[in-house]
Amino acid sequence: MSHRVVRLLCAIWCFGASFVNATSICYVGYIMDRYCIDRGTLLDAPTLSTLNNPEKHTIHCLVDVTACSASNYEILAEPTGSNSSLHCRAFTLDSGGHSKAVSLARELGSTSHGCSTCGRGMQRKGFRATVVGIVGTGNPPTLHVQHMFNASVGCDSYGGVALLPANLNCEQGGNEKWILAHGSIMMFSW
């Protein structure tokens, strides 16, 4: 057997073993698209800070607006401290989790409340979910999603709430100046 094949088999076994020994966690939080996080303000409410106002982020923005729905989704941690309203970035959803989030948001969202791809739900803003998965790496760490439910389901059936990453990422607006510059150039060229 060639060395390449041996290395490939070892890599596959090591990768698989890391998931076999991994523990599933459960977390309930707001689901936010990275596009709005990187803007620093909600696309659908540009005067509001993204991480201070996830309850005002519309499902329409999350699943209908291409820039938002095509970006990664993250689960936000609840604010800490008595005077804080800042939510932090707890986990990034993997691609399967992204698909589950879009499906659940569309199920809970309402076409009569502005979501063109939603169903008969009644929710307009503040999409929260109960997410069960295996924590990977990254900042925020990737959550390899196994299950996703309405936030009302909670984590009691899944062993309680997850321990959050040691260093929560509370940064937002990292691309705001580039987004504004791009928009200005577009307007000027038009």
Give residue 5's pLDDT: 38
Position 71 scores a pLDDT of 97
Q: Rg of the Cα trace of the chain?
A: 19
Tally of domains within the chain:
1
Band (166; pLDDT cuts 50, 70, 90): low
Residue 86 in any domain: the answer is yes
Give the structural domain span for 111: 23-189
Question: Comparing 34 with 9, which gets the higher pLDDT?
Answer: 34
pLDDT band at 30 (very low <50, low <70, confident <90, very high): very high
- For residue 107, tell me if it sits in a domain: yes
For residues 92 and 141, is the Cβ–Cβ distance under 8 A?
A: yes
Q: Half-sphere exposure of 26 toward its Cβ, with a 13 Å CA cutoff?
A: 15
Q: Is residue 117 part of a domain?
A: yes
| Cα torsion 58, 63, 67, 68: sign | positive
- Domain assignment present for residue 176? The answer is yes
Q: Please provide residue 171's backbone torsions phi and psi, each rounded to the nearest 5 degrees.
A: -85, 145
- Number of neighbours of residue 153 by Cβ within 10 angstroms: 16
Residue 128 placed within a domain: yes
pLDDT tens column, 128-165: 999 999 999 988 899 999 999 999 999 887 766 666 66
Percent of the chain with pLDDT over 70: 72
- The verdict on residue 17 lying in a domain is no
Residue 3 lies in a domain: no
Rounded CA gap, 31 and 28, in Å?
9
Burial code (b: 16+ CB inside 10 Å, e: under 16) for 80-108 equals eeeeeebbbbbbbbbeebbebbbebbbeb
Domain assignment of residue 1, yes or no: no
CA angle 70, 104, 68 (to 5 degrees): 20
Write the CB contacts of 58 (distance below 8 Å, at least 6 apart in sequence): 44, 113, 114, 115, 124, 125
* Predicted model pTM: 0.77
For residue 163, the model assigns a pLDDT of 67
Instruction: Average the pLDDT over 35-40 and give the result.
Output: 95
**84/72 Cα distance (integer angstroms):** 25
Give percent of the chain above pLDDT 90.
57
- Beta bridge partners, 143, equal 93, 135
- Give tens-digit pLDDT for 72-131: 999 999 887 766 889 999 999 999 999 999 999 999 999 888 899 998 899 999 999 999
